[in-house]
């Protein structure tokens, strides 16, 4: 049995659907990963062969003011999962982020490129990676710009704003790969089926700015909205973000044969399913 921690979240719900009968989910109320005792109780009772940790504090700007909470959930909590999964002989799958990089490389990031987070969120997720590695049977999956059917995300925000306004300003100097939870879940499934361990990058193919992504969302949704460019400096958010953090997913393809579809195709599919 594969245990999905954070099963009610955006990625967790998609994973439960993709993994089907082989998965069981737990969420807040059933497990508190910041408590070692809670993790011990759940994992020792259920004895899964693998644990996929989708539990995270993902408010990037909020992490700047709630640093202790971010470190507890995204860092220390992963350490608890690593310790107990190792104890029961289970694999730990930890979700991580492009925000562990500083965005200064200028080309897609490989798994072994030097890290250098710019924000408290990035630092907390990097601590989570370090703690996950304490279980020799670990699988760290870095992804980026995630959206899905069961949570707050950029696509839904743009669709809501696009229904209300005919003009928006969106940053055009941050570059990455919008990634659908449906494709990320398939990538994780492929990694598990091949018995992979270590660190992997998984994102939809291609890259774009947030501004370009917004334009594509409105085009596919049939909304007439003018999307004006703005810089990250002009946006002036509390947390610093990497400007170019595209992930190279070649290792995923080589080791599993899985390649996520282009981000444009994934967006189309997401919007089609959203109507049903």
Query: What is the rounded average pLDDT for all residues in the chain?
Result: 96
- Strand 175-176 versus strand 208-209 pairing type: antiparallel
Give the span between the Cα atoms of 43 and 91, in whole angstroms. 12
Q: What beta strand segments (E) does 67-123 contain?
A: 91-97
Query: What is the domain partition of the chain in residue ranges?
Result: 2-153+178-206+245-261
Give the span between the Cα atoms of 3 and 192, in whole angstroms. 13
Task: Please report the pLDDT score of residue 274 as a whole number.
Answer: 87
| 99 and 55 Cβ atoms separated by less than 8 Å | no
Catalytic sites, residue numbers: 121
At 125 the three-state DSSP class reads helix
Q: pTM for this one? A: 0.96
Residue 176 has pLDDT above 80, yes or no: yes
Task: Please report the pLDDT score of residue 275 as a whole number.
Answer: 79
Give start and end residues of each alpha helix (H) in 109-209: 120-132, 154-164, 181-193
pLDDT tens, position by position, 75-102: 999 999 999 999 999 999 999 999 999 9
**Confidence band for 151, pLDDT divided at 50, 70 and 90:** confident
pLDDT tens, position by position, 25-83: 999 999 999 999 999 999 999 999 999 999 999 999 999 999 999 999 999 999 999 99
Give the span between the Cα atoms of 76 and 93, in whole angstroms. 15
Q: Which CATH architecture has domain 2-153+178-206+245-261?
A: 3-Layer(aba) Sandwich (3.40)
């Amino acid at each position: 049995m594969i245990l999905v921690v954070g099963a009610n979240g955006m990625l967790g719900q998609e994973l439960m659907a993709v993994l089907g009968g082989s998965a069981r989910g737990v969420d807040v109320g059933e497990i508190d990963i910041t408590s070692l005792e809670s993790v011990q109780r759940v994992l020792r009772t259920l004895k899964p062969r693998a644990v996929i940790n989708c539990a995270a504090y993902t408010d990037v700007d909020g992490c700047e003011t709630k640093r202790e909470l971010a470190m507890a959930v995204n860092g220390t909590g992963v350490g608890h999962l690593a310790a107990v999964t190792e104890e029961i002989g289970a694999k730990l799958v930890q979700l991580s982020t492009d925000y562990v990089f500083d965005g200064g490389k200028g080309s897609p990031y490989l798994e072994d490129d030097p890290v250098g987070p710019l924000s408290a969120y990035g630092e907390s997720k990097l601590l989570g990676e370090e703690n996950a590695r304490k279980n020799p049977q670990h699988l760290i999956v870095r992804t980026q710009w995630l959206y899905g059917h069961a949570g707050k995300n950029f696509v839904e925000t743009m669709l809501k704003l696009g229904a209300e306004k005919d003009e928006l300003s969106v940053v055009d100097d941050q570059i990455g790969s919008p990634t659908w939870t449906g494709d990320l879940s398939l990538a994780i499934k492929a990694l598990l089926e091949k018995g992979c361990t270590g660190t992997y990058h998984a994102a939809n193919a291609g890259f774009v700015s947030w501004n370009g992504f917004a334009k594509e969302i409105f085009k596919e949704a049939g909304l007439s909205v003018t999307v004006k460019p703005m810089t990250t400096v002009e946006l002036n958010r509390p947390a610093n973000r990497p400007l170019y953090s595209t992930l190279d997913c070649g290792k995923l393809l080589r080791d599993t044969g899985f390649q996520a579809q282009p981000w444009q195709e994934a967006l189309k599919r997401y919007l089609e399913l959203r109507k049903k």
